[in-house]
Chains A and B, each alone.
Chain A
Amino acid sequence: MIRATNLSVAIHGTPILQNVSLDIAAGQIVGLVGESGSGKSMTALAMMGLLPDGAVAKGAIQLFEEDLLQTDERRLCAMRGQEIGMIFQEPMTALNPVQTIGDQVSETLTVHGAANGDAARKIARDRLDRVGLGHIGMAAFPHELSGGQRQRVCIAAAIALRPKLLIADEPTTALDVTTQAQILDLLRELSRSEDMALLLITHDLAVVAGMADHVAVMRNGEIVEQGATSTVMRDRAHPYTRALFAASAHQPEQTDMPVSDAILEVRNVVRIYPGRRNGLQRGSPLRAVDGVSFALKKGESLGLVGESGCGKSTLTRAILGLDPIQGGSIVLSGNPVTPHMPRRQRAAIQVVFQDPYGSFNPRWRVARIVAEPFHLLPRRPPDWRDQVADALSAVQLAPGDMKKYPHEFSGGQRQRIAIARALITKPDVLVLDEAVSALDVRIRAQVLDLLADLRARLGLSYLFISHDLTVVRAITDRVLVMQSGRIVERGETPEVFDAPNHPYTQALIAAAPRLDDVENAGDIDA
């Protein structure tokens, strides 16, 4: 139905896509997988005729009889929305915050002259019902909806005119696992029942494995392997596909650490945010963390899992002594943790954040960035440069990198710099706040290996906070599951994952896309 033949795109002479050929039939789901920068999104934009300025496309994109590369902008405008719909990663920014959702869905209809006024609103209502928003009024504004509901609105707008092809660019990456599972179910069901072709772009092999009929693996602007999903998953003919699979399922080698006494004790911690100000009054206060207790033993790796808004970030900030707590106590090596704790104690607990781009002052060189925590010592050690060099070597960067600026590094390298900074004061506890969530699978596997190795060598204790169950399973000994500010389940990681007790944990684990099933199938055949 839509077919790209030898599609090549260059932007200002730099080749972005090379000889991409992809064929999607009506009612078929095609998965396009690859790491960041592989050209997945550019392929989608080419299919929409939305290539950026300065892009030159060669080859052909055939939608039925028309070649989209030869079509003029007027005709393309008519086709976008009508023949091809698209949904994006970030449902927060894809909707206009000052328009009601009813208006935004019916806009697609009126723009294309398919319906007007009440007729358009009637269809919009029908489409919203179709994506499972029957209980939400047309007059609702985007900010009144959850992330998953907003993504449903985007889908409703995209399918309002029953397009032949729906392009979903990382549609669930910004969503929690349980929401992700629902959105994927909806997309699959829509594609089947409306006979709509679906191009699903994702970095997550597990999502594709569970969804797509056909999968294409992209690297550096080329499709290195494509075929029926089961075949690709089983054969993994191309070495790159094999590397991706290996990285996704990567299990860092864990040395058994002698685990001794608790080094960090969290007892009945309560963190209350004052209610939202509404004129002169305040709403009721929010208990973001509500009586959380746990102990982190020396040398242990403890996971903390939960969906967005469950209070894990708030808890992290309290444990780092950045925010005051309203109840309970946090004790690190026998001393209380507060925003006013002595510097020496602060040096014993350090943190690595999620965003490899926002973690560093862009105007500082690496040497100064990594040396910043020396501020916690009475004076900066005279051999601080050697210590920074050692820390960089420990995270497998070159000491020569000290002179560079953060923007000269890739995402994975930046995360290593962040780890080096956290290690420079030789802390006992390292808090890893979604530390590998923003990384591509292969880079993630390397950083996980590094973390496992550092723990074994330096005897560190990790508090590993993540929404990604696969990663938590790979790197932690024990795990805590958090929901609405409370710990609802805790235990040894393998036990919790294999036999969850709490309904919330069960829902989380059931919703997480997995590769195991496919892998087992492959093993049997082999």
Chain B
Amino acid sequence: MIPRALVFGAVPTLFFIAAAGLSFLWVPHDVTDLSIADRLQPMSAEYLLGTDQFGRDILSMLMVGARTSIAVALVAVGIGIGLGVPLGLAAAALRGSLLDEIIMRANDLVFAFPSLVIAILITAVFGPSAVNAILAIGIFNIPVFARVARGGAMSLWTLDYVLAARTAGKGRSRISIEHILPNIANLLVVQATIQFSLGILAEAALSYVGLGAQPPTPSWGRMLAEAQTMIYTHPMLAILPGLAIVLMVLGLNLLGDGLRDLLDPRLRRVRS
């Protein structure tokens, strides 16, 4: 049976991914298309969700903004998995060694910093851009995945099939790749969805303070920031990007929950 959370999470997630995908091919209006004459239009057939103070189409901006959010979060998660998982696997394979100690203490060090503040620092120092936002968010994903990978791997290292692989003469790195990694994949997938949602939030926060993707690239966070001066006169300008962020993050969290229910080997054993 498919967990209900999975369905409820997948719907908004896929919806936004589809919208972002569609924006490559077609948007109702060009987002760089300023037309002051059409500024602050209400919802209409021409502008489905209305326009902002520069007369840009909100729907188009949300679609292209989804692209930015998803791209930033995706690459940031990729950095976390790409560097964190090998580190975690190595730490588990050489449990108790100096390397394990170094990796995990370095993790603790990164964890000790408030991630968003440091991300703001990094983007402020190296200049605001989408790439720097990705790097700043990605760095803080590394220790998360390292810990998840190490924790999952450590319990697997005590299992008999790993011992059997060792009697088959396989080295630690080979066992990590062949036996450990596929069996912690479910843990990683669940963690990835959670980190993905946190990445979206972080990107929105950085853009909100002007340190994310730069104009004219639309971004949900900056749409919020620009709307705040008009929140009493034109509340929809703030509500729409806010709603997009909320739905996307909620969807991803539900998806993570649902995937955990679906992939958790303990639950699966009950079912089979």
Point out residues on A near B: beta carbons under 8 Å.
Answer: 317, 320-322, 343, 346-347, 349-351, 353-355, 358-363, 372-373, 375-376, 407, 418, 421
Contacts and interface: CB of A to CB of B under 8 A. Distances in A.
Contact of A355 (B160, B178, B179): B160
A360 B170 CA distance: 15
B97 interface: no
B167 A350 contact: yes
Given A346-B169, A355-B160, A375-B170, 9 more contacts: A322-B166, A351-B164, A359-B161, A361-B178, A361-B182, A363-B182, A372-B164, A373-B168, A407-B272
B163 to A, nearest CB: 7
Contacts of A361: 161, 178-179, 182-183
A270 to B, nearest CB: 21
B165 interface: yes
B117 interface: no
A322 B167 contact: yes
B159 interface: yes
Interface in B37-84: none
Contact of A322 (B163, B182, B265): B163
- Secondary structure at the B interface, as helix, strand, loop or mixed, is helix
13 contacts: A320-B166, A320-B167, A321-B167, A322-B166, A346-B167, A347-B169, A349-B167, A351-B164, A360-B161, A361-B179, A362-B183, A372-B164, A375-B168
Interface string B239-250: 000000000000
Given A363-B183, A375-B170, A358 B159 contact: yes
A351 B167 contact: yes
Contacts of B183: 361-363
Nearest to B170: A375
Nearest to A274: B96
Nearest to A408: B272
Nearest to B165: A372
A229 to B, nearest CB: 36
A15 B169 CA distance: 47
Nearest to A354: B160
Contact of B167 (A354, A360, A362, A373): A373
A375 B169 contact: yes
B169 A343 contact: yes
Interface residues of B, number: 17
A458 B163 CA distance: 24
B168 A358 contact: no
Interface in B100-149: none
Nearest to B265: A362
Contacts of B159: 358
B168 A372 contact: yes
Nearest to B182: A363
Interface string B163-192: 111111110000000110011000000000
B8 to A, nearest CB: 23
Contacts of A358: 159-161
B169 A359 contact: no
Tell me which of B161, B165, B182 has the highest count of chain A C-beta atoms within 10 A of its own C-beta. Answer: B161
A11 to B, nearest CB: 12
Interface string B20-49: 000000000000000000000000000000
Contacts of A349: 167
Nearest to A323: B166
A262 B7 CA distance: 64
A427 to B, nearest CB: 10
B175 to A, nearest CB: 10
A514 B122 CA distance: 73
A406 B160 CA distance: 14
Contacts of B164: 351, 353, 359-360, 372, 418, 421
A376 B169 contact: yes
A421 B165 CA distance: 10
A484 B208 CA distance: 66
A363 B186 CA distance: 12
B41 to A, nearest CB: 55
A353 B168 contact: no
Nearest to B159: A358
A376 B166 CA distance: 10
Contacts of A362: 183, 265
Contacts of B272: 407
**9 residue pairs, one from A and one from B, having the closest CB atoms:** A353-B160, A373-B168, A359-B160, A376-B169, A343-B169, A358-B160, A358-B159, A346-B169, A372-B168
Contacts of B178: 361
Contacts of A375: 168-170
A353 B163 contact: yes
Among B160, B163, B168, the most chain A Cβ lie within 10 Å of the Cβ of B168
Contacts of B265: 362
Contacts of A360: 161, 164
A380 to B, nearest CB: 12
Contacts of A373: 167-169
A355 B159 CA distance: 9
Which one of A320, A346, A355, A361 has the greatest number of beta carbons of chain B within 10 Å? Answer: A361
